[in-house]
Amino acid sequence: MMYNKRRKGFIAFVTLFLLAIFGLMGIAYWFSSRMNTDMLWVESQRLRARNFAQAGIEKARLHMCNVCQRSDKYDMKKSSYKKEEFEKEFEDGGYRITSIEPFKFEGKEYLNVDHVVKGRVIGKFDVWEVTSEGYTTKTKQIVEIKTIIRVFRDNVVY
């Protein structure tokens, strides 16, 4: 068997070359996984802030349904509600309701509008535009949600 001196160390060179390539691929995979994990964590925090903002919307809806349905003359603009009632702090974030205003469309406010069913007035309704802000403390994510809430005050006859 003849041994070629020119190829001495060829296998060691190829092995080192393959190890370097596989090492670079492993580092690239690790870096990509790390970035995806970080992005997913930030996205989960954004979703958490959105859920907090939605909790604020639900709190405003509950308040409006409880208070507005009891009184025909109730006006959220003139009411003196407690600020603490519309802000809630949790361990990792919270919400605050930034505005509750009558819905305006083409210069008309929708307050005490007749609720008509089959040509008959059965009550009144208001339409409110509510803005809530949810936030997280870890990543300082802030999400704002605006929604329109319609509150009915129907004259129900049993």
Residue among 90, 101, 76 at smallest CA distance from 134: 90
What's the DSSP call for residue 5?
A: G
Angstrom distance (rounded) from CA 147 to CA 37: 32
Domain count along the chain: 1
Q: Which residue is it, tokens 């939605």? A: 54
Query: Do residues 42 and 139 lie in contact, with contact meaning Cβ atoms separated by under 8 Å?
Result: yes
Task: Name the burial class of residue 35, with classes exposed (0-12), middle (13-18) and buried (19+) by CB atoms within 10 angstroms of its CB.
Answer: exposed
pLDDT score at 81? 56
Q: Which domain holds residue 71?
A: 5-154
Tens digits of pLDDT across the chain (158 residues): 566 666 677 888 889 999 999 999 999 999 999 999 989 999 999 999 999 999 999 998 888 877 766 665 555 555 555 666 788 898 999 999 998 888 888 888 888 888 888 888 888 888 889 999 999 998 889 999 999 988 887 776 65
Angstrom distance (rounded) from CA 125 to CA 23: 68
For the entire predicted model, the pTM comes to: 0.72
Query: Do residues 138 and 152 lie in contact, with contact meaning Cβ atoms separated by under 8 Å?
Result: no
